[in-house]
Amino acid sequence: MVSLKPSKQRRLLHTLPLHQRKKLLIAKVSDEIASQYGIKRIRVRKGDTVRVMRGNHNGKEGKVTEINTRTGRLAIEGITRKKADGTPVYVWIHASKVMITKLDLSDPRRREKLEKSKK
Question: pLDDT for 10-58, tens place per residue?
Answer: 898 889 998 998 888 999 999 999 999 999 999 999 999 999 999 999 9
Return the bridge partners of 28, or none.
41, 99
The phi and psi torsions of 74 (rounded to 5 degrees) equal: -120, 150
Position 41 scores a pLDDT of 95
pLDDT in tens, 87-111: 999 999 999 999 999 999 999 999 9
pLDDT in tens, 30-42: 999 999 999 999 9
What domains, with CATH codes, occur in the chain? 18-118 (2.30.30.30)
Position 118 scores a pLDDT of 78
Model-level pTM greater than 0.85? yes
Q: Taking 70 as the threshold, does the pLDDT of residue 1 lie above it?
A: no
> What share of the chain in percent tops pLDDT 90?
77
Return the bridge partners of 80, or none.
90
Long-range CB pairs of 81-90 (<8 Å, 24+ gap) are 90/65, 90/66
Contact 102, 36 (CB under 8 A): no
64: DSSP letter? E
Go through the chain and tell me how many residues it has. Answer: 119
